[in-house]
Amino acid sequence: MSRIGTNLWPRAVHYEMAYRQSLGEGPGLSAFLSKLSIVGMVIAVSFLLASLSVMNGFEQEMRLRILNLVPHVTVQSYAGTSDNRETAKYFSEMPSVVRSHRFEEANALFYANSGSRVGRLVFAEAGALGPLSEHLRPKVEDVKSNEIVLGSKLAQALDIKVGESVVALISEKGSERRFSPLSLTLVSTLESNTEIDRVFAFSAASASVYYTSAPPPAWAITIEDPLDAPEVAQALRRSLGPQYWVSDWTRSLGNLYQAIQLSRQIVGLMLVALLVVAVFNVVTSLVLVTADRRPGSAMLRTMGATPADVLKIFTIQGTIIGAGGATIGAALGAMIALGIPSLVALMESVSGQPLLDTSVYPLAYVPVDLRAVDFISISATAFVLSLLASVLPAISTSRSSITESLRQSR
């Protein structure tokens, strides 16, 4: 019997029978359930990868776009002039600091044409606009003291175009609350498609001209990794002392970043649950398949097949389901993720309204970031879970009694 089993069951036969049970033609229950399991695995893997790619895109844009538009760390000084010079030199020597510049801020009421907005006007040297140059429309190399750069949404709210004038009422910090009018010409707008476009206002003038007492100097610091800002700020607090006020971007935008991370985790958890359901679907399908094929397995056993042969066939069938579902799901997930921006643009063109408004969302578009590690890890996990799901039904069938199995075929 052992010799006959060896002749009848070469390795290629295991794959051929597993393939017929999984993807074979005809009305058989085994092939139908296997194809259904593959479809369920494809849906779970593709939606999981597409959703993670979008959430990765939001996280990446948060780090590379939004955080590059704002200072990572700000330092405000209440020390003497000589100390301030030493402080500026200290910033330039820090290894993690990419650049730093002096700036001043003032509360302002912007008024132009028929619109008005309250905001903060930042005064700094024109070189501070360097990192923002790719988002300026039109691009400007220099900003004079009587010129201003506004966010595109803020300029739209003020109903002002490049070349027109805007009046900024600067709130003086004296013993009496007064406002100094400042007429500025709009030379460029910031179009970053982020929420920064609603609040950005920049001029090269000095705020000290409009104050009874000069405001304390402040520095805007950009570091290599924005996520290290809290640690850098803490180190600066310890080294600079109490005469300096140190803050970082997490105080103003930290809730936004945490919300993106939390959304990513929740969406990932929901879709992992979908993947688990797909794996249970594989288990259920293979249990039904093994029950349907039990008489046939018993007949093969009588022809010389060993329990190991039956185990191999059903294990290979589970491998085909897992590999097919993971591979097709990964490819479909990449296609869905890459097609989401076009789908959003189509929906916006049909409705005539933006789908994402920066008054609610941090970005005015849907970013996508395909990461190889996600595709490899999720596809491998789906494959391994599907393979493990096929083991128990396969073991149960291989150990079943030949007599009982044949009796079921009557």
pLDDT 10s digits, 122-153? 888 767 888 888 889 898 878 888 889 999 99
Whether 243 shows a pLDDT value over 70: the answer reads yes
In the predicted model, is pLDDT for residue 120 greater than 90?
Answer: no
pLDDT per residue as tens digits for the range 76-96: 887 665 566 777 778 878 888
pLDDT score at 329: 92
> Can you give the pLDDT at residue 128?
83
Total H helices, total E strands in the chain: 10, 10
Most confident of 114-118, 257-261, 295-299: 114-118
What is d(CA 22, CA 19) in angstroms, rounded to the nearest whole number?
5
What's the pLDDT score for residue 251?
Answer: 84
Question: Is the distance from CB of 248 to CB of 67 less than 8 angstroms?
Answer: no
Q: Give the separation between CA 370 and CA 54, rounded to whole angstroms.
A: 8
Q: 5: pLDDT confidence band, cut at 50, 70 and 90?
A: very low
Residue range 322-370, pLDDT digits in tens: 888 899 999 999 999 999 999 988 888 888 888 877 777 778 888 999 9
Concatenating the DSSP letter of every residue in 318-366 gives: HHHHHHHHHHHHHHHHHHHHHHHHHHHHHHHHHHSS-SS-TTTSSBSS-
The whole-angstrom separation of Cα 355 and Cα 322 is: 37
Neighbours of 179 (CB within 10 A): 14
Of residues 247, 239, 248, the one with CA closest to residue 83: 239
E strand intervals along 231-273: 244-248
Q: At how many degrees (to 10) do helices 307-351 and 29-61 cross?
A: 50
Give the residue ranges of DSSP H helices in 126-249. 152-158, 229-240
